[in-house]
Amino acid sequence: MKEIVRIGIIGMSGRGSGTMQMLLSMPDVEIKAVCDLYPDRAEKAKLRAEELRPGTTVAAYTDYKRLVERNDIDAVVITSSWDAHGYLAVAAMNAGKYAAIECGGACSTDECWQIVRTYEKTGVPCMFLENCNYGRQEMTLLRLIKDNLFGEVVHVQGGYEHDLRHEIAYGHENRHYRYDNYLNRCGEFYPAHALGPMQKYLNINRGNRMLTLTSMASKARGLHEFIVKSKGADSPYAEADIRQGDIVNTLIKCAHGETMLLTHDTTLPRPYSRAGRVQGTKGIYMEDRDSIYIEGLSPNHDQWQSFAEYYNNSEYEHPLWTEFRTSGVTGGHGGMDYLVMRAFVESVQMGVEPPLDVYDGAALMAITPLSEESIAMGGAPVAIPDFTDGKWIKRGPAPKSKYALDTVNFDLFGV
């Protein structure tokens, strides 16, 4: 087991810098190098890392190849723009370094195959950093599902429902890559937050798999109206031909007959939601009400019960969260950023497969180009590749760990 995990980070935007700072709060992690296409960003990150760990030297690159080839790095964390996730993960694995990919969808299914085939060739693991898999509500749901409280789960849904108009519209000014995607593509750009947890609820790649999807996009109006309002009708931005529909819904059918509904909703005014919903033969959960109803367990027939009565109760809460709450929650997005990164760091330390592996990541990232294809073909169903080449039928849970997402290993927790 490695005492210290030595990391390089590629992509030093807001997300990359935040991730670097969080990693530097972990005594068993060292940052050896940072990389960004913008030299000022790389330099700023280097100086910040050296400030946080006085006496250390951190290299700053604009060429990722120089970072991945270093001999003193165990793992590469990829917090770049979406379209670079695939080839950066491939480069890291080819150089023998564990890869960690931030949330985002692919541009082609072949990108996802490249990640899978590189893993299979090199044997070097790759983890998809879906933080929401470690959210308190999501982990509680995971435990309730594995404990059969919902009975047989037949349908799940979720979304990325987040008003990002300000970030997107000012993309060219603040170096954010979202805007160019919205100008040119139309699809389910950001399936990870909803689909990451769903995959684990439904045993995807481990006894089940996603078979087909259909997608439909509404017209695109929100961003244009926002631009006109904020930059003026005579701004050149107001003439932009925005392709991404305001609401994109994607329906996915699984091999064992379950359905999933994903919603992408980022260019209209609205309060934030991940719109989680789980339905089984014994009950239903609905995030937008923060409510649950379990037949025979909830106190009143056919009436919602506050979900807080579950995630605030160690009889139902996931033990990782009970431990985390007891020891003091830390890290961004309510703590889940910390937990997902610990899951990665500890997998590198132990030299084992991470809880969200290359197959989970590939299936997740592929939803984006597949949804684009379906929308482009008027909602035609498209097949989701089996990235496991049939191994999903007999694959069991990921290695036992506190961070496992296929089983709940109660014996690993002191609580």
Site membership for a second copy, residue 186 (CB under 8 A): no
Contact map string, positions 331 to 370, toward a second copy, x by CB under 8 A: ----------------------------------------
Among 73, 127, 192, 247, binds a second copy (CB under 8 A): 247
Contact between 269 and a second copy (CB under 8 A)? yes
Stretch that binds a second copy, among 31-39, 296-304, 347-355, 396-404 (CB under 8 A): 296-304
Q: How far is residue 101's CA from residue 25's CA, in Å, rounded to a whole number?
A: 20
CB 112 within 8 A of CB 86: yes
- Distance (Å, whole) CA 190 – CA 105: 6
**Residue selected from 51, 235, 379, 400 as contacting a second copy according to rule CB under 8 A:** 379
Radius of gyration in angstroms for the set of CA atoms belonging to the chain, rounded to a whole number: 21
Is position 315 an interface residue for a second copy (rule: CB under 8 A)?
no
In whole angstroms, the minimum distance from the beta carbon of 15 to a second copy comes to 21
* Candidate list 111, 130, 138, 258; residue touching a second copy; CB under 8 A: 258
- Both tokens assigned to 20: 């670097």
Q: Coil, helix or strand for 144?
A: helix
DSSP letter string over 292-355? EEETTTSSSTT--EETHHHHTSTTTS-HHHHHHHHH---STGGGHHHHHHHHHHHHHHHT---S
Out of 380, 393, 400, 410, the only residue in the binding site for a second copy (CB under 8 A) is 380
Among 66, 289, 391, 400, binds a second copy (CB under 8 A): 289
Question: Binder to a second copy among 61, 128, 179, 293 (CB under 8 A)?
Answer: 293
Maximum Cα–Cα distance across the chain: 64
**For a second copy, which is the closer residue by CB, 304 or 413?**
304
In the complex with a second copy, the residue whose CB is nearer, 128 or 285, is: 285
Token pair listed for 334 = 């309510």
Residue 412: CA atoms inside 13 Å, Cβ hemisphere, count?
13
In this structure, are residues 379 and 393 in contact, taking their beta carbons and an 8 Å threshold?
no
Smallest distance from a second copy to CB 359, Å:
23
User: Site size for a second copy, by CB under 8 A?
Assistant: 50
Provide the β-strand partners of residue 161.
265, 273
In angstroms, the CA 397 to CA 394 distance is 10
Find the part of the chain contacting a second copy (CB under 8 A) among 150-158, 183-191, 385-393, 404-412: 150-158
In this structure, the number of other CB atoms found within 10 A of the CB of residue 70 comes to 16
In whole angstroms, give the CA distance from residue 47 to residue 59: 10
Q: How far is the CB of 40 from a second copy (least distance, A)?
A: 32
Output DSSP code: residue 168.
H
Q: Which stretch binds a second copy (CB under 8 A): 25-33, 81-89, 262-270, 335-343?
A: 262-270
Take residue 118 and report the two structure tokens written for it.
Answer: 């590189």
- Tell me if 281 contacts a second copy by CB under 8 A: yes
- Distances from the Cα of 12 to the Cαs of 48, 233, 320, in angstroms? 11, 34, 30
Site for a second copy in 205-234 (CB under 8 A): 212, 214, 216-219, 221-222, 225
Nearer to a second copy, 111 or 372 (CB): 372
> Which residues here bind a second copy, judged by CB under 8 A?
151-152, 154-155, 163, 212, 214, 216-219, 221-222, 225, 245-247, 249, 251, 253, 256-259, 261, 265, 268-272, 279-284, 286, 288-289, 293-295, 302-304, 378-381
